[in-house]
Structure 1
Amino acid sequence: MATISHIGWLLIPAITLLLGLVLLIFQSASEGLASRVLEISTTACGLISLIIGELGRKRSRVNMLRFFMVASSIAVSLLMFCAIRKGSGFMAAKSPSFWETILALPEVALAVVGLMFHLFIIGYTVHLIANMSVPKRAS
């Protein structure tokens, strides 16, 4: 039976990525899909790397966990870049309306929550890899 940490390891980041993907697709319907291609593809890659990481954790595959660490770090970094870029471009506007401000908040909040859980997951994955590594023989 899975413990809370094993369930949360996949569930919480997957929910934040899925919510972000739904939010991006919803917003891209009004803005145009071409302006959101980077965010949508990065979110999809983050979901795929999360699945690879979960498979690596369940099957004790160090290489899959290492791939997960690199791919998910790149995905989270790109998502944070996109959120910051959108926020800085949004703040540069002379007078954003109240509703534009409200609609921008969930995307930034999901990026920050995703970053916090990603830091936890990377630490957890490093710990798993250290426990899976073959100990070196003493000379």
Structure 2
Amino acid sequence: MAAITRLVLTDFRNYQHLSWRPEQPVTVITGPNGSGKTNLLEAVSMLVPGRGLRGARMDELPRHGTTLWGVAAQVAGLDGDEALSVKLATGANPVRPERRVFHVDGQALRNRDAISEYFSAVWLTPQMDRLFQDGPGARRRFLDRLA
């Protein structure tokens, strides 16, 4: 399983700049409402193809007063092996801010789906609570789509 060993945010949501190095394999994020906990999780979700955890539009992602944003991470390989680490980055395209670009180890990817070869994530959010309330058939359909 891959592990994020460093996360850097630039002008993303409420963060002007953040550089964070998780010290443990499991991290609990706490804080008052509106402090940026979900924004931090959303930033991680932007490192995979798609529209992120919240499904936000590109114009909703930059910090107020800016148009460009970026999320970068150092991702260690299997079991946190630093020797197998890669640098992943995504953000608004400087030429066309309504589009997103992806980089792996400083090289631009032509196909955004290629980033999933380096990092993937599965989200379980409160909006998915029907997964627990619906019957076994709904759970099987969810797991089938997930697989």
* TM-score interval, normalised by the smaller of the two chains: under 0.3
TM-score of the aligned structures, taking structure 2 as reference length: 0.27
Q: Which has the higher contact order (CA 8 A, sep 6+)?
A: 1
| Structure with bigger gyration radius | 1
